[in-house]
Amino acid sequence: MNYRRLGHTELRVSEYGFGAWGIGGDSYGPVARADALSALTVAEELGCNLVDTAAVYGASEAIIGEFLKGRRDRWIVASKYSFQKEGLEKTLEQQLRRLGTDYIDFYQLHAAPPQTDEVYRRLERLKASGKVRYLGVSLYSEDSIRQVLADDRIDGFQVAFNLVDVQPYRQCQPEIAAAGKGVLIRSSLKSGLLTGKYAPGARFDPQRDHRARDMTADEIDRTLRWLESFRFLEQTEGSLLQAAARYPLAFDSTSSVLLGARNAEQARINFGEIPARPLSPESLQRIEDTQRRLGIGRVNPLRRWAGRLLRTLRG
Ligand SMILES: NC(=O)c1ccc[n+]([C@@H]2O[C@H](COP(=O)([O-])OP(=O)(O)OC[C@H]3O[C@@H](n4cnc5c(N)ncnc54)[C@H](OP(=O)(O)O)[C@@H]3O)[C@@H](O)[C@H]2O)c1
């Protein structure tokens, strides 16, 4: 396992971090507590030192709290405030209790930068108290990235990026690289669709699986059809899963790629089998050519123009 610095912070995070949404049991279906704990144990043995969770990820924080007993100092814990109605301070206290810790290393607003100075003041107070070490935002848009990059009070952000969803991360690359903030990449496997184990027509149970709620059938099928055009990676880079997980690390601005693992076997693959070397320049070129051919990441010039206008008006 290799490690990268999380932006300008003192934290050195493993290139693959443990995405703990899945072990919470309410995103991809129930997970036995023993499986979740084994996944975390295997991840640690293989050098993973970062876990990303949230108060809204089912039982995730409580499971991590159980796991961290006696080993808190080996892990960098990232969690999120999802604007719960109890408010920031009370939510954080509950999270600290569940996680069995006095502090959260990277505390992210879920899922937009603060719009008022009041939120900043309260976050800064939490930072000064030591309960939160660094601040981040889990975000979705180019505008939010730019807002975070321009704000010294925020240490980093989390964004989705993968073979078939490249914006807004790629669009903002020059500015992100120049700002040097910490970046966690989520959804590098696009909720498992890029592992190579599904074929077009795959459907998920809306009662148990967020993919049935968060993605349309068309999006699932289009993703899985597109994936066929990336099959060359199986020859050049081992497997689709390995290539998809490594792809975000081709960007120096990436600090860590979050991978979900719901049992020991997935953890063994995700934290132990993915080669530490970067994707080859030939593979990267073919990925870009394929994305261009499929129209992935094409930015509508009208939208870009409207975004610029909006930013100018906001000053
Ligand atoms: N807004 C936000 O802040 C936000 C949103 C999404 C995600 N995240 C973060 O990003 C993390 C990762 O995203 P994600 O939950 O979408 O997870 P992911 O890692 O992209 O995908 C998880 C899925 O991949 C499958 N999988 C993982 N490893 C596998 C392996 N070795 N072999 C076969 N299948 C494998 C799992 O399959 P099974 O279903 O078969 O177990 C599961 O369905 C989350 O845990 C969370 O920390 C944050």
Ligand 1 atom closest to residue 263's alpha carbon, by position in its atom list: 41
Name the phi and psi angles at 47, rounded to 5.
Answer: 100, 0
pLDDT in tens, 83-109: 999 999 999 999 999 999 999 999 999
Check whether 309 has a pLDDT greater than 80: no
Q: For residue 259, which of 162, 157, 137, 144 has the smallest C-alpha distance?
A: 162
What residue has token string 């073919």? 286
Check whether 314 has a pLDDT greater than 70: no
Band of residue 116 on the pLDDT scale cut at 50, 70, 90: confident
Residue from 16, 21, 80 whose mutation best tests the ligand 1 pocket (most atoms within 8 A of CB) = 21
In angstroms, rounded to a whole number, what is the distance separating the alpha carbons of residues 214 and 171? 24
CA geometry: angle 191, 193, 195, nearest 5 deg: 105
Check whether 315 has a pLDDT greater than 60: no
- Gyration radius of the chain over CA positions: 19
- Please tell me the total count of domains within the chain: 1
pLDDT in tens, 184-197: 999 999 999 999 99
pLDDT of residue 312: 66
CA geometry: angle 276, 179, 281, nearest 5 deg: 35
In angstroms, rounded to a whole number, what is the distance separating the alpha carbons of residues 51 and 157? 15
CA geometry: angle 110, 116, 118, nearest 5 deg: 100
pLDDT in tens, 142-201: 999 999 999 999 999 999 999 999 999 999 999 999 999 999 999 999 999 999 999 999
Instruction: Determine the structural domain holding residue 132 and report its residue range.
Output: 3-314
Residue 186 is part of a domain; what is its CATH number? 3.20.20.100
CA of 18 relative to ligand 1 center, distance in Å? 9
* Residue ID of nearest Cα to ligand 1 atom 39: 28
Check whether 65 has a pLDDT greater than 70: yes
| Torsion angle (degrees, nearest 10) of CA 146, 149, 154, 157 | 70
